[in-house]
């Protein structure tokens, strides 16, 4: 059970970082106790990969939950909701940089306004 003030603040945001923090702290303590030679490079690399996977899973689940809430809030029909993941994956594999960098501004106004 979580305590009331279980969230930690990262960059001023209340983000729960315990999974990654505890895993990284445990790995660091092990390395400090017995050095990399005692742990072994393969174990260290596997542990580091495990921490990265935990981070990706945390991010992925948070993103998926936020997306479901947003789709429901916008009353997107179920049929469109089912096709969205495939469309996002296709777009990601065709143009992956669009997911990490903002599009170039070509000076033209946006296609959809905010109703003003």
Pick the more confident residue, 86 or 17: 86
Phi, psi of 8 (to 5 degrees): -105, 160
pLDDT in tens, 27-66: 999 999 999 999 899 999 999 999 999 988 888 888 888 8
Strand pairing class (13-15; 8-10): antiparallel
Helix, strand, coil percentages for the chain (3-state, nearest 5): 65, 5, 30
Computed over every residue of the chain, the mean pLDDT equals 81
**In the chain, at which residue ranges do the beta strands (DSSP E only) sit?**
8-10, 13-15
Angstrom distances, CA of residue 11 to CA of 8, 14, 62: 10, 8, 18
């Amino acid at each position: 059970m979580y305590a009331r003030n279980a969230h930690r603040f990262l960059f001023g945001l209340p983000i729960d970082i315990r999974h990654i923090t505890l895993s990284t702290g445990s790995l660091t303590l092990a390395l400090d106790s017995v050095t990399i030679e005692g742990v072994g490079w393969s174990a260290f690399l596997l542990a580091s990969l495990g921490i990265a996977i935990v981070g990706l899973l945390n991010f992925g689940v948070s993103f998926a939950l936020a997306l479901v809430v947003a789709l429901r809030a916008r009353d997107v029909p179920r049929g469109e909701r089912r096709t969205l993941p495939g469309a996002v994956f296709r777009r990601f594999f065709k143009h992956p940089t669009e997911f990490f960098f903002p599009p170039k501004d070509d000076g033209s106004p946006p296609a959809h306004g905010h109703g003003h």
